[in-house]
Amino acid sequence: MTTALIYLVVLAVVGGVLFLVAALVFGRGEELAPLPPGATPTVLPEDGVTGDDVRELRFQQVLRGYKASEVDWALDRLATEIDELRAQLSAAPTTDSRGRPTLMPTLQLRREIAAPAQVVWDAVVDWPAQGAWMLATTVRVVGGDGRSVGSELAAYSGVRPVGFLDTMVITEWDPPRRCVVGHTGRLVRGDGIFEVHPRGEQSCVFLWREDLDLPGGVLGRLGWPLAKLPFAWGVRYSLRKLARYCELRAR
């Protein structure tokens, strides 16, 4: 009996010493002051909600909650849809001085890729390596570092001697989500847009959009429906190769 009592006393003393040491080293573990009544950490802008606003949402913990991974997945999907819709709106046809649509020829395609968004982004903006997945095209950096606004690119599309040179300048650089290049050549003008939208940790959606200012004025725009068919086929072919290229790199 005495031995058991001594054991309990020693155990209590040791526990007290360990508690004091932990309090000195790590602090006393004060809790944060509670939020005022009616307040919440879940905040969104009154208007102009973006994908990043949704991704940064935080919720209060309650006794009966939801599975965190499923909530994160749903928010990520919602954020991706918001980003894609805003991209479509921002790239919608502009108007002239009289408010009439310019009717700029546009091609937009997307591909879901079973690879992390960073892997896809790295592959897409590796300009000299684009020939590994882009149909009959070689690209090189001719000015700047190829990783910033103002950098200049030159792409040759075709099989020499039949082909054309497409010169470009990076006008928007937002890694690892969005890159915009302005086509500055004689044959191709307008904007090319690459966007990568994450969908979880191991997949994403790659969007490729071309807003083209074709030569020939009205005649060029009238001929776009015919030219669009082979152009779209080439982009789809390239997107399939890009998906395989990135999925192999992600293994």
Residue pointed to by tokens 């490729």: 208
Query: Tokens in use for 235?
Result: 């982009």
Tell me the CATH number for domain 105-249: 3.30.530.20
User: Tens digits of per-residue pLDDT, 128-147?
Assistant: 999 999 999 999 999 999 99
Given a cut of 90, whether residue 195 has pLDDT beyond it is: yes
All structural domains of the chain with their residue ranges: 1-28, 42-89, 105-249
Q: 23-45 burial, b if ≥16 CB within 10 A, otherwise e?
A: eeeeeeeeeeeeeeeeeeeeeee
Query: Tokens in use for 11?
Result: 């155990």
Amino acid letter, residue 206? F
The confidence score (pLDDT) of residue 216 equals 76
User: Tens digits of per-residue pLDDT, 217-250?
Assistant: 777 777 888 888 999 999 999 999 999 999 999 9
The confidence score (pLDDT) of residue 225 equals 85
226 vs 16, higher pLDDT: 226
Residue pointed to by tokens 């009717």: 103
Task: Give the helix ranges, DSSP H, for 37-165.
Answer: 51-55, 68-90, 117-124
- How many CB atoms lie under 10 A from the CB of residue 130? 19
- How many CB atoms lie under 10 A from the CB of residue 73? 14
202 vs 89, higher pLDDT: 202
Mean pLDDT of the chain: 81
User: Tens digits of per-residue pLDDT, 53-104?
Assistant: 777 777 766 666 667 776 777 777 777 777 777 666 655 555 443 444 555 6
pTM of the model: 0.64
